[in-house]
Amino acid sequence: MTRDEVLARLEGVKSPEGTPLPRTGKLSDVVVGDGKVFFSITVDAADVKAWEPVRQRAEEAVRAIPGVNSALVALTAERKAGAPSAPSVQAAPARAAPRGESLQGVPGVEAIIAVASGKGGVGKSTTAVNLALGLSALGLKVGILDADIYGPSLPKLLAIRERPQMLGGTRLKPITRYGLTVMSIGFLIDEETPMIWRGPMVISALTQMLREVEWGTLDVMVVDMPPGTGDAQLTMAQQVPLKGAVIVSTPQDLALIDARRGIAMFRRVNVPVLGVVENMSYFLCPQCGTRSDIFAHGGARREAERLGVPFLGEVPLHMTIREKSDAGLPVVATEPDGPHAAAYRDIAAKVRDQLVGAATGRAAPKIVIEAQSRHLTARRQD
Ligand SMILES: Nc1ncnc2c1ncn2[C@@H]1O[C@H](COP(=O)(O)OP(=O)(O)O)[C@@H](O)[C@H]1O
Ligand SMILES: [Mg+2]
């Protein structure tokens, strides 16, 4: 099955005006690989309703092509020139609404939290998986969403090779592993095929993974965010109804600078930072048990204190964590009695306490800035 075959099949799908889809100029690149097809349709924000049936028909048409195992067609709403630049999407509010109440949640999901890092390779995904398992060990019903579209790692970290099933033609059934409900863009897109993601496609794919997946009832959904603090990350942070964010950093200065950017980014969009995890905090020699602080241990704790965000704990750099993680056997699930699992469960307990605190109003008071006559005043909102 080739890109041209897909385009030929889409000739039979008409726009609301009756134009064959490939000739509307609204189609993104069609990405084809290993039985999977992905593309997006970009339309004016005002026309989204009229286009939704077209999106569905396009998905059905592509799915009917022999050799296609999965098809993901994203509908992306684009603002008119002159409007604020953040891309918006059908299910998300089209206006630059203030965060929070206006962001539509995911039905059945109590709290969505992000695990983020200023840069890649610091152990964000490993932390996300073990944190999710730690929350699960505390008795919570937990899901994990791999939103790291540039480098999805959940298929590997959880050794998942099967594809999600479709339910009734439109909704995806997530995969269950170690008691976690799991969804990753990596289940739909070939890991070997590099994808070129444009801003609106990112948001659209993410929105669908949040809203067109049968997540069921969850206490917490952990989202493994893409690394970095660029536009894509900022928009994601804005579009997902997040209760909070956990920042992962290694202790070196350079990583901490990136972590600081991460914290600033979430603050900018009013997502509470639940705290910082110092990963690869110190090295435990597997032979002699000697500890060495190769990356100057403690940097993340000091940085968290300086920025006034909670410090959630440290995880050592350890062979077992790397080996288990990369083999799809996360330590919290496979060595629950070991010291690493205990460290992750401690971190999970701190995160849970903060989420509970937020729900019962024990979290830090909100500061409201308002204009009174000609002065700006800040007051606590309890
Ligand atoms: N605490 C740790 N000790 C040893 N290896 C680790 C630790 N945390 C992560 N790793 C390893 O580091 C690599 C990068 O981790 P990963 O979680 O994929 O990072 P990211 O998602 O930030 O890119 C992986 O090979 C992983 O197994
Ligand atoms: Mg990762």
More confident residue, 346 or 252: 346
**Contact (CB, 8 A) for 242 and 270:** no
Query: What's residue 166's pLDDT?
Result: 80
Mean pLDDT of 338-355: 95
pLDDT above 90 (res 212): no
For the stretch 60-112, pLDDT in tens is 999 999 988 888 887 776 544 443 333 333 333 333 334 444 567 888 999 99
Distance 325 CA to ligand 1 centre (A): 8
Alpha-carbon distance of 273 to 271, in angstroms, equals 6
In testing the pocket of ligand 1, which one of 115, 125, 126, 344 has its CB within 8 Å of the most ligand atoms?
126
Distance 317 CA to ligand 1 centre (A): 9
In testing the pocket of ligand 1, which one of 325, 329, 332, 344 has its CB within 8 Å of the most ligand atoms?
325
Alpha-carbon distance of 233 to 75, in angstroms, equals 19
Distance 122 CA to ligand 1 centre (A): 6
Q: Is the dihedral of CA 212, 243, 186, 137 positive or negative?
A: negative
**Contact (CB, 8 A) for 183 and 209:** yes
Ligand nearest to the CA of 326: 1
Nearest CA to ligand 1 atom 12: 123
Query: What's residue 74's pLDDT?
Result: 79
Distance 218 CA to ligand 1 centre (A): 26
Distance 7 CA to ligand 2 centre (A): 33
Distance 237 CA to ligand 2 centre (A): 17
Query: Which run of H or E residues covers position 359?
Result: helix 339-359
Ligand nearest to the CA of 259: 1
Distance 124 CA to ligand 1 centre (A): 7
- Name the average pLDDT for the chain: 82
Ligand 1 atom with the shortest distance to the CA of 280: 1
Mean pLDDT of 174-191: 87
Alpha-carbon distance of 349 to 314, in angstroms, equals 14
Determine how β-strand 70-78 pairs with β-strand 165-167: unpaired
Query: What's residue 358's pLDDT?
Result: 65
Q: Does the global pTM surpass 0.75?
A: no
pLDDT above 60 (res 155): yes
In percent, the amount of the chain with pLDDT more than 70 equals 82
In testing the pocket of ligand 1, which one of 115, 322, 340, 344 has its CB within 8 Å of the most ligand atoms?
322
SS3 call for 273 = strand
More confident residue, 167 or 58: 58
Ligand nearest to the CA of 154: 2
Return the half-sphere exposure (C-beta side, CA atoms, 13 A cut-off) of residue 52: 9
Cα 296–chain centre separation: 29
**Residues lining ligand 1, judged by CB closer than 6 Å?**
117, 120-126, 153, 227, 279-280, 315, 317-318, 321-322, 325-326
